[in-house]
A and B are shown apart, each in its own frame.
Chain A
Amino acid sequence: MKIFGLKRKDLLLFVVFSAVVLTSRYLFAPFGAGYPDLLQKFAIYGIFALGFNILFGLTGYLSFGHAAFLGVGSYTAVWTFKLLSMNPVPAIILATLAGGVFAAAIGFVSLRRSGIYFSILTLAFAQMCYNLAYSVLTPITNGETGLQLAQSDPRVLDVAFGRDYGAVLPPSDLFGIVMTGYSGFYFCAVVLIVCFYIVIRLFRSPIGLMLRAVKSNQNRLDYTGVNSRPYTLAAFVISGMFAGLAGGLLAVTDPLAGAERMQWTASGEVVLMTILGGSGTLLGPVIGAGAIKYFENIFSAFNEGILNSAFSFLPETLQHIVVSVSSLFVGEGWHLTLGALFMLIVIFLPGGLMEGFRRLRNLAVRLFGPGGGGSEPKPETT
């Protein structure tokens, strides 16, 4: 029996996922994450990581240039706002398409090689986009300042439909609903849920199986007479479209696009999100993206004062030492934590958090027997 084309287990996963996303405002509130700016980031980077996972998790091709598609999506969305309309729908559609077109062009070239060559090629292309955005393409990207809206923008469609924003800079709005605060988050959340549905369908489809075959042994696949290139290209383009969409959503919630979004460290971040959550799993990338953005938010907000009060129970000298060591890792030093986390995950838990959950569950089953251990309904997703 299939509902929406999903088997029962997937359907359950999908429904639970949607419910959690839509109620995250209340669910995450006890952790201090129940406000729209952060929830938006969870959703947007969740989409980004979901898309990256289609490429890396399924085919094993490690792209180091996905931030370029995110940046392209952002620029496209902001230009759509400027030229056509402040409505987010055309913006994200065009951003997705732009991401897809760029991915098709870059993927067509990069996918001729595999392994480390592929990583370096995508890295080279992304750096090219980044450098160009900073230098020659300044008329389009507005260089270091970043692309911004202006009052004098034409906004052809808005004018045609007789919308006049007067003398203020308009926020983006969906048929009158302004895309700030919670309405902005719910817009992103709905897009995330749609994306998640697409990913489930893709994972269970014949194409998904073919992509997994590429990961396990591409040579053998080629020798059996299958041309694997179109499949990998399809995966690359789809993941590029997800990245473009995420970039577009970033511009919807905050209509500003800058080239630093395209830097290769940003590409590294999405790799980390995927790995941290568990590459190749359905839920992992979203969890990874959420975890990274959550900790980024918490850690960056810390400062010496907070640390001092947190460790005030310790003796004076010990407190001083602990504070000075841990202050390396918070605030400005958040990247240090990120790098260390990166290493720890790759060294000890290459399967990511999902792998960790599974090990914990197996442990629980071993300890309490098969009956008592199933108290935590963590759906199997691989």
Chain B
Amino acid sequence: MDAILLQILNGLDKGGAYALIALGLTIIFGTLGVVNFAHGALFMLGAFCAVSVKALLSLNKITIDPTKTTAWGTPMEVRQPYVEAWFGDFGKTLLDYSVPLSILIAIPIMLLIGIIMERGLIRFFYRRPHAEQILVTFGLAIVLQEIVKSIFGANPIPQPAPDTVNGMIDFGAMIGIEAGNVVYPAWRLIYFLFSLFIVAAMFAFLQFTTFGMVVRAGMADRETVGLLGIDIDRRFTVVFGLAAIVAGLAGAMYTPILSPDYHMGMDFLVLSFVVVVVGGMGSLGGAVLAGFLLGILQSFAAMNEVKNVLPGIDQIVIYLIAVVILLVRPRGLMGRKGVMEH
């Protein structure tokens, strides 16, 4: 029982990342009809927003402290981040909380990137075949990832979570099971809650605002909405920006769990596509559900008990499920009729 609970928890954070990326992919596909292979790159860019914020905050001021000497007898250099010099303890806190803070920076940056991408490239591909959309966004993903590589290098850059939530929490004790059995890193739980919050916010936005209503109408029938005199293109640009923000935030908050490197986007992208297909192309709920489901399944497949029976299953379980789903229920778990069906 405890082991099962622990595995479910283990799957939730990864599932949260899958769900957020898949959500953006589905929104873009549903509204713009574009298959965006560069969405993983947006996730990666979000993660590197966090890296940049951390790097900016920890810019050092080097002073020479004449009272101390190093082992070689030269005066010791003291490195102190500017924020600490300027703000004292508050600066220290800022530095400690660099990952959550990076959300504030990531939102405008990702919005900007999303809008530039849509206006500059994607909109020319609305009327072109899916194969060409896939290819051009694939090329864009390579370009973005190589640019990041040339700036930040090829090695993963670890990003610590804030100290207060960097440790483990005893989740078992919180819900009344015997203490010490279900111990879990706090940040992962926060990530799960965060992804739930973003998903809820996105759904609320689409469900309860006029803008969201127009977007949903556009997803159902783009042409009619256009005929009603609504400038659907402009709305869809914003939608693309929103999807970029969702992917970027998912990436920024994921950095304490997985040290970001330049190809993390590609790794997640393939899985997220599988998630979208399993959930059902064009179904937002399906994408979120399938994201969490596959994340949990993956963590179950990684248990030693399972691996002993079926070696290697943890590597391929997601793909296997995608294959089975596509063959048995081609529309996906919650797919709508008539979306991408030939």
Residues of A within 8 A of B (CB): 60, 62, 109, 112-117, 119-121, 123-125, 127-128, 131-132, 134-137, 218-219, 264-265, 268, 271-272, 275, 328, 332-333, 335-336, 338-343, 346-347, 350
Q: Which residue of A lies closest to B322 (CB)?
A: A124
A contact residues around B35 at 8 Å (CB): 116
A60, A128, A272: which contacts B316 (Cβ < 8 A)?
Answer: A128
Q: A116-B134, A275-B135, A346-B132 are contacts. A109–B327 as well, Cβ < 8 Å? A: yes
Decide: B342 and A219 in contact? CB cutoff 8 A.
yes
The answer to whether A115 touches B319 (Cβ under 8 A) is no
Contact string against A for B residues 140-172, beta-carbon threshold 8 Å, 1 for contact and 0 otherwise: 111101110010000000000000000000000
Q: A136 and B274: CB pair below 8 A?
A: no
User: Are the C-beta atoms of B147 and A336 separated by less than 8 Å?
Assistant: yes
Question: A residues within 8 A CB of B330?
Answer: 112-113, 117
Q: Inside 8 A of A134's CB, which chain B residues have their CB?
A: 315
Chain B residues within 8 Å of A, Cβ to Cβ: 35, 121, 124, 128, 130-132, 134-136, 138-143, 145-147, 150, 266, 270, 273-274, 277, 281, 311-312, 315-316, 319-320, 322-323, 326-327, 330, 340, 342
Q: Taking CB as reference atom, which chain B residue is nearest A106?
A: B323
Known: A121-B323, A124-B322, A336-B146. A218 touches B139 (CB 8 A): no
C-alpha gap A343/B125 in the complex (Å): 12
Separation of A219 and B342 alpha carbons in the complex (Å): 8
A115 near B340 with CB under 8 A, answer: yes
- Chain A residue contacts of B319, Cβ below 8 A: 124-125, 127-128
Contact between chains at A125 and B323 (CB < 8 Å): yes
Contact of A347 among B124, B134, B327 (CB under 8 A): B124
Report which of B138, B150, B273 forms a contact with A328, defined as CB distance below 8 A. B150
Supplied contacts A116-B35, A346-B132, 19 more A-B pairs, CB within 8 Å: A62-B131, A62-B134, A109-B327, A112-B327, A120-B277, A127-B270, A128-B316, A132-B312, A132-B315, A268-B142, A272-B139, A333-B150, A336-B142, A339-B145, A339-B146, A340-B143, A343-B140, A347-B136, A350-B128
Bound-state CA distance A119–B133 (Å) is: 12
Among A135, A137, A328: residue with most chain B CB under 10 A: A135
Q: Which residues of B contact A341 (CB under 8 A)?
A: 139
Q: How far is the CA of A333 from the CA of B138 in the complex (A)?
A: 17
Q: Is the interface of B mostly helix, strand, loop or mixed?
A: helix
User: CA–CA, A335 to B134, complex, Å?
Assistant: 18
Q: How far is the CA of A100 from the CA of B140 in the complex (A)?
A: 32
Evaluate contact between A340 and B311: CB separation under 8 angstroms: no
Residue ID in chain B nearest A336 by CB atoms: B146
Asked if A339 meets B132 with Cβ closer than 8 Å, knowing A120-B322, A136-B311, A347-B124, the reply is no
A132 close to B142 (CB less than 8 A): no
Q: Which residues of A contact B281 (CB under 8 A)?
A: 116-117
| Residues from chain B with Cβ under 8 Å of A335 in the complex | 142, 146
- What is the CB-to-nearest-CB distance from A102 to chain B, in angstroms, rounded to a whole number? 15
Contact yes or no, A342 B142, CB < 8 A = yes
A to B CB contacts below 8 Å, 23 in the list: A112-B326, A115-B130, A116-B130, A117-B326, A119-B134, A120-B273, A121-B326, A124-B319, A128-B315, A128-B320, A131-B315, A132-B312, A132-B316, A135-B312, A135-B315, A136-B312, A275-B135, A332-B150, A336-B147, A339-B140, A342-B138, A343-B136, A350-B128
Q: Are B274 and A120 in contact (CB under 8 A)?
A: yes
| Assembly CA distance A340 to B145 (angstroms) | 11
The answer to whether B134 touches A218 (Cβ under 8 A) is: no
The minimal Cβ–Cβ distance linking B73 to chain A, given in whole angstroms, is: 38
Q: How far is the CA of A137 from the CA of B140 in the complex (A)?
A: 33
CB distance from B154 to the nearest CB of A (A): 8
The 4 closest A-B pairs by CB, nearest first: A339-B142, A136-B312, A342-B139, A336-B146
| Chain B hits for A347, CB < 8 A | 121, 124, 136
Give, as a whole number of angstroms, the nearest-CB distance from A192 to chain B.
25
- B316 near A271: Cβ-Cβ < 8 Å: no
Q: What's the nearest-Cβ distance from chain A to residue B104, in Å?
A: 30
Closest to B276 in A: A120
Q: Determine if A124 and B135 form an interchain contact, defined as CB atoms under 8 angstroms apart.
A: no
> In the complex, what residues of B have CB within 8 A of residue A120's CB?
273-274, 277, 322
Give A272 to B142 CA distance when docked, in angstroms.
12
In the assembled complex, the Cα of A349 lies from the Cα of B216 at a distance in Å of 35
Whether A336 lies near B143 (C-beta < 8 A) is: yes
Q: In the complex, what distance in Å separates the CA atom of A61 from the CA atom of B308?
A: 38
Chain B positions within 8 Å of A128 at CB level: 315-316, 319-320
Task: Say how far B31's CB is from chain A's closest CB, in angstroms.
Answer: 16
CB distance from B245 to the nearest CB of A (A): 23
For the complex formed, measure the closest distance between the CB of B328 and the CB atoms of chain A, giving whole angstroms: 11
Nearest residue, chain A, Cβ from B129: A60
Contact B274 A114 (CB under 8 A): no
The smallest C-beta distance from A220 to any residue of chain B, in angstroms, reads 12
Give chain A nearest CB distance to B268 CB in angstroms.
12
Given A136-B315, A264-B270, A347-B136, verify A339-B143 contact (CB < 8 Å).
yes
Q: How far is the CA of A84 from the CA of B145 in the complex (A)?
A: 43
Residue of B266, B270, B315, B326 touching A113 (CB-CB under 8 A): B326
Choose one: B136, B138, B270, B342; the contact of A115 (CB below 8 Å).
B342
B135 closest partner in A (C-beta): A346
Residues of B within 8 A of A135 (CB): 312, 315
Are B132's CB and A124's CB within 8 A?
A: no
Chain A: CB-nearest residue to B124: A347
Q: In angstroms, how far is the closest chain B Cβ from the Cβ of A252?
A: 29
User: In the complex, what distance in Å separates the CA atom of A340 from the CA atom of B141?
Assistant: 10
List chain A residues, Cβ under 8 A from B327: 109, 112
Distance of A63 from chain B, by nearest CB (Å)? 11
Smallest CB separation, B67 vs chain A (Å):
41
Residues from chain B with a CB closer than 8 A to the CB of A127 are 270, 319
Q: In the docked arrangement, what's the CA distance between A333 and B150, Å?
A: 8
Give, as a whole number of angstroms, the nearest-CB distance from A77 to chain B.
24
- Chain B contacts for A275, CB-based, 8 A: 135
- Bound Cα distance A165, B139 (Å): 47
Nearest chain A residue, comparing its CB with the CB of B274: A124
Nearest A residue to B130 by beta-carbon distance?
A116
A137 CA to B316 CA, complexed, in Å: 12
Given A124-B322, A333-B146, A336-B143: A114 and B136 interface contact (C-beta under 8 Å): no
Which residues of chain A are within 8 angstroms of B134 by Cβ–Cβ distance?
62, 116, 119
Q: How far is the CA of A264 from the CA of B311 in the complex (A)?
A: 23
- Give the Cβ gap from B210 to chain A, nearest Cβ, in Å: 31
Q: B118 → chain A, closest Cβ, in Å? A: 15
Q: Output the nearest chain B residue to A339 by Cβ-Cβ distance.
A: B142
- The answer to whether A114 touches B342, judged by C-beta atoms less than 8 angstroms apart, is yes
